[in-house]
Amino acid sequence: MNRMKTVVGAPLDRVDGVAKVTGKARYAGEYPEPGLLYGSVVSSTIACGRVRSIDSAQALNVPGVIAVLHHANRPRISSYDDDYSDADAAEGAPLRPLYNDHVLYSGQPLALVVAESLELARHAGSLIRIDYDQAGHQTDLHAVLDQAHPAPAETPKPRGDFAGQYAQAAVQLDATYDTPNEHHNPMEPHASTVFYKADGALEIHDKTQGTQNCQDYLHKVFGLPKDKLRILAAFVGGAFGSGLRPQYQLPLAVMAALHLKRSVRVTLTRQQMFTFGYRPRTRQRVRLGATTQGKLLAIAHDAIGQTSRFEDFTEHLVEWSGMLYQCDNVALSYRLAPLDVYTPLDMRAPGAASGVIALECAMDELACAANLDPIELRRANFAASNGNEGKPYSSKELLACYDQGAARFGWGARTPQPRSMRTGNQLIGWGMAGGVWEAMQMKASAKARIDRQGKLTVSSATTDIGTGTYTVMTQIAADAAGVMLQDVTFVLGDSSLPTAPLQGGSFTVSSVGCAVRQACLALRSQVLALARQAFPAIAATPAQAITFGDGYLQAGQHRIAIADVVAGSADGALEVQVTAEPSAKREPYATATHSAVFVEVQVDEDLGTIKVTKVVSAVAAGRVVNPKTARSQILGGVVWGLGMALQEETQTDHPLGRFLNHNLAEYHVPVHADIADIEVIFVEENDDIVNELGSKGVGEIGIVGVAAAVANAIYHATGKRVREFPVTLDKVL
């Protein structure tokens, strides 16, 4: 009885779908309690300086306003004078909300108004008057490129002789690419609801990608015992990295709750969603040297990204250029330029989404210079091993991604000359790009419990930020335990549950999923041992002849309900908890997901308007646990990649040092009318080294390479090479 084909690998609907579409799923800012107070954050209007005074008299005169907290009257927090951080912190000193009178960036939280309703709190916040001593500021990356310092990142060391090989290469490319700031803007704004208990314990519903990270952070900041802090995140309305670090509404809500000994909720406005982390602006120079046949002789990728003055944010920005293609002479550098801004933060495929834009646009330019088809250039430089690590890949079906993606797209009908394909006044362009993302696994724990009714409950502190974690863990558990899908309940989003890493990096299935599988297999072993004691026929059957499935144990002609076996246990239930770690089998290998993205654009010859009319994304991500939710992940990534290419940019008014388009009216993202046909292909890839599930994750890979493919298609359509993103019609014209 092989359940693999029917449970793991099946395109099942989300188990939490009904709760979400009927409104039964509650989010961080939706949990009610009688007497709950509401906090509203008052933000700085300058980018650098000091607060001279905060006048809150008018606000406090508003009936229903309970308190106004700021640096001069906040409760004492001893840890504010010590070092503390969180699991996703950058190097440096984290922002301490309401710490002192220093203003470090525009939008910094300077006061918290607490009132009996959210409307009262926000109105009272508008009455607060803040006087500043304003200092000079700098928010423009391009103005301080010469002041950048080496990033504290693990950038691979140079290998070979880049300078010598580049100098003698028959075909050379030297191009610089600019990517903008982008903000996460998940549908659910950040919020924290802190329920203050009679014994001083706090139960907190927070928008987060890691409940235990928040628990640890609050333990360090406020000195509260962890058993007095329970963080819950049953449902998260998107995060994309914005929930990796505890955002400032969390310590502010806790500060107010402890000070007032009342329950408090703090919800950020959409405008305030632009006052913490974001994808950093970059300038990237790529130099490629190749033979006339397109064989890469030399690669250099030099990048400068922005960071804050108080933390050095780093991401994996340039590594991809040393691993995606075979090349013996590689030089990579990554520098940071501090500005009067908040610290950037990981955003979907951090580093890769930006860094691969530069690499894959440069590869397209090299293909044009060498008069080669873009796919053929990439084929000629296929790397079976990761040059940065000197390790072979556990699996890499990128060539199959090229083949299947190109066939589905119809790439063979492409004429290579720019402006050679058109329909009326619409110039047609076809472009492609490769993608890569590391396939990681983290240590994780899970608990599995089965009762006398055969109901299986599996739990872990992981979260579900909309990726389908509830569903795939249910599938993995049902498969491993041999029970019916409808008899499985997966519990997550609670810091009191078995330890789990932050949800990010596309490693949740490989990390938590392996723990769930091991726990359920261990539970199955307990069921078998119990069955052997209770049923002589089972005891006489060799282990290899016994199978589990559909809620039954099958031994030859004997079929026994798992529930009946469990009912005979001492407690009427069986329980096991395990911790899963990466296997030593991984050590000699590099592990990564790969993709090939093909894009068709239409560019109006007169107006310069750009429409993406077709996308094919071919992905090699190992074993896909649920093709339906995985496809949704790739679709979302592709749409975001189209936004990166054509629309998305957080614009800064540098004289004021603040973001201009800090709302969803002016911060442009793709809408339904911008999206045409997107086809997703999952290329078969078997990998028994990456982890026991053979899964590599798909959350990040969907966005990687998309923006480059669009830009390459625009060049093919128009003959205009735009190296500054997003590619808007003014740049094309």
List residues with catalytic annotation: 700
Contact 614, 410 (CB under 8 A): no
CA distance 59 to 126: 8
Question: What is the dihedral angle through the alpha carbons of 301, 307, 313, 317, rounded to the nearest 10 degrees?
Answer: -20
Other Cβ atoms closer than 10 A to 665: 7
Angle between helices 508-534 and 469-481 (to 10 degrees): 30
Enter the tokens of residue 362: 């440069």
**Spatial CB neighbours of 673, under 8 Å, sequence gap ≥ 6:** none
Q: Which residues pair with 446 in a beta bridge?
A: 578
Question: What is the dihedral angle through the alpha carbons of 500, 506, 509, 514, rounded to the nearest 10 degrees?
Answer: -70
**Spatial CB neighbours of 178, under 8 Å, sequence gap ≥ 6:** 281, 282, 283, 284, 723, 724, 725
CA distance 505 to 548: 33
β-strand 558-561 against 296-308: which pairing, if any? unpaired
Q: Closest Cα partner for 163 from 302, 310, 326?
A: 302
Burial of 586 per CB tally in 10 Å (0-12, 13-18, 19+): middle
**H or E element, residue 213:** helix 211-222
CA distance 610 to 607: 9
For 263, list phi and psi in degrees, rounded to 5: -80, 135
CA-based angle 664:234:121, to the nearest 5? 50
Other Cβ atoms closer than 10 A to 588: 10
Q: Closest Cα partner for 460 from 448, 452, 472?
A: 448
Continuous H helices in 398-554: 398-409, 469-481, 508-534, 536-539
CA-based angle 712:716:722, to the nearest 5? 50
Q: State the DSSP code for 544.
A: G
Enter the tokens of residue 273: 């969603």
Q: Closest Cα partner for 436 from 648, 724, 677, 697?
A: 697
**Spatial CB neighbours of 146, under 8 Å, sequence gap ≥ 6:** none
Q: State the DSSP code for 44.
A: P
Alpha carbon distances (Å) from 405 to 19, 324, 391: 36, 18, 27
Q: Closest Cα partner for 469 from 672, 269, 699, 643?
A: 699
For 73, list phi and psi in degrees, rounded to 5: -135, 5
Q: State the DSSP code for 146.
A: G
Angle between helices 249-260 and 211-222 (to 10 degrees): 50
Q: Which residues pair with 150 in a beta bridge?
A: 335
**Spatial CB neighbours of 172, under 8 Å, sequence gap ≥ 6:** 166, 287, 288, 289, 290, 369
Tokens 């006339």 correspond to what residue? 292
Enter the tokens of residue 400: 């199959």
Tokens 């049902």 correspond to what residue? 478
* C-alpha torsion sign, points 315, 321, 327, 328: negative
β-strand 385-386 against 652-653: which pairing, if any? unpaired
Nearest-Å Rg of the Cα atoms of the chain is 27
